[in-house]
Amino acid sequence: MALAIFDLDNTLLAGDSDYLWGQFLSTTGAVDGEAYERENLRFFRQYQAGELDIHEFLRFSLRPLKEHSPERLHSWREEFMRTKIEPIITRAALDLVARHRQAGDTLLIITATNAFVTAPIAKRLGIGHLIATNPEMRNGCYTGEVDGIPSFREGKVARLQLWLEQHAEDLSGSSFYSDSHNDIALLDIVDHPVAVDPDEELAAYAAARSWPVISLRGPANQELT
Residue-wise pLDDT tens digits, 4-57: 999 999 999 999 999 999 899 989 988 887 888 888 889 888 988 888 888 898
* CA torsion through residues 100, 174, 129, 115, sign: negative
- Say whether pLDDT at 216 is over 90: yes
What amino acid occupies position 159? R
Strands 213-214 and 192-196: parallel
CB neighbours (10 Å) of residue 164?
15
What is the mean predicted confidence (pLDDT) over 200-220?
94
Alpha helix (H) residue ranges in 54-124: 54-61, 63-67, 70-80, 91-102, 115-124
Answer whether 5's CB lies under 8 Å from 177's CB. Answer: yes
What is the mean predicted confidence (pLDDT) over 169-173?
97
pLDDT at 221: 63
Closest CA to 180 of 160, 162, 196, 157: 196
**Separation between Cα atoms, residue 176 and residue 194, nearest integer Å:** 6
Superfamily grouping for domain 3-224:
HAD superfamily/HAD-like (3.40.50.1000)
**Separation between Cα atoms, residue 66 and residue 52, nearest integer Å:** 22
Active site residues: 7, 9
What is the mean predicted confidence (pLDDT) over 65-90?
96
**118-168 confidence digits (pLDDT tens):** 999 999 999 999 999 999 999 999 999 999 999 999 999 999 999 999 999
pLDDT band at 224 (very low <50, low <70, confident <90, very high): very low
- Say whether pLDDT at 223 is over 70: no
**Separation between Cα atoms, residue 171 and residue 3, nearest integer Å:** 7
- Say whether pLDDT at 225 is over 60: no
Per-domain residue ranges for the chain?
Answer: 3-224
Answer whether 135's CB lies under 8 Å from 146's CB. Answer: yes
